A and B are shown apart, each in its own frame.
Chain A
């Protein structure tokens, strides 16, 4: 019975996930990360796609505290 319900993961060799399977997930996550980081970190600062300053003002404190250049 103890053999049927082992919990020690050490007995199983770690298997890597093939790069071919990971690549599309990585690409999608990276693209999304660029977009989000742009709007939180740089929109209406160094660049401006949307006119005005509402995006900048809304994330203002976060932009400062997360280390992005502001002002």
Chain B
């Protein structure tokens, strides 16, 4: 097993994850997006009749429209079909590549764990650090929520928190490996968990909250959207992790058999 095989396996696993996430998103994410867009358009309708000339919709946060009425624009069908598939597919492939490379780094560097176990560990930690914890701090919002004026600030906070979360995992792993040199694996694991939680906990308390959900926005639609978003990303990571672990297992079993065969031949 080398860097190349880990990367290729990761890209394959990520593409599959992205495709499954696309299907899951259609089922659990799109209904809430459609509901939210319907709300957004019914709220924007009165404003548009009195100021019908605004070509780009520059007023009060409504900085873009959703296909339909825009000339030469992208339709809702395209957004919810090929557009969505493009996004989940690309993100799936790129996450798969990153997890594959991270698994290549991890292989053989976690005590006596096999490359199969370390790969599963990397995928699990990746989901927690990249999806779950950022989702808790800065939960995603459906259309009609969020002011166009704060998009810069919100983007900076989101990616900043994501970076802190990922760096916290790296720090936790580095510290745990130090601990493992003199203490048990249990202690090392507990220290890693504590380090990660401490870092993201402090970041959560220190970093500004984002609260832009209008009072009139239906709570059920918001909840449905956020759960749909989490399930979409969870399905991507689950398929990515399971497929990559399976591919690494296959490669590892072959390599182990080769090594054993050579040793047996040498012993003759």
Q: Which residues of A contact B (CB under 8 A)?
A: 3-17, 19, 21-22, 25-26, 29-30, 32-33, 36-37, 39-40, 42, 45-47, 53-54, 56-71
CB distance B143 to A71 under 8 Å? Answer: yes
CB distance B253 to A7 under 8 Å? Answer: yes
How far is it, in angstroms, between the C-alpha of A27 and the C-alpha of B104 when the chains are bound?
13
B183 interface hit (Cβ, 8 Å): no
Q: Which bucket holds chain B's interface residue count?
A: 35 or more
Chain B residues within an 8 Å CB radius of A8:
256
B207 interface hit (Cβ, 8 Å): no
Chain A residues within an 8 Å CB radius of B108:
13-17
Q: Which residues of B contact A (CB under 8 A)?
A: 1-4, 6-7, 25, 29-30, 33, 61, 63-64, 66-67, 73-74, 78-80, 83-84, 86-88, 90-91, 93-95, 97-98, 100-101, 104-105, 107-109, 112-116, 118, 131, 134-135, 138, 140-143, 145-148, 151-152, 154-156, 158-159, 225, 228-229, 232-233, 252-253, 255-257, 259-261, 264-265
Number of A-B pairs, beta carbon distance below 8 Å: 199
CB distance B229 to A65 under 8 Å? Answer: yes
How far is it, in angstroms, between the C-alpha of A12 and the C-alpha of B151 when the chains are bound?
52
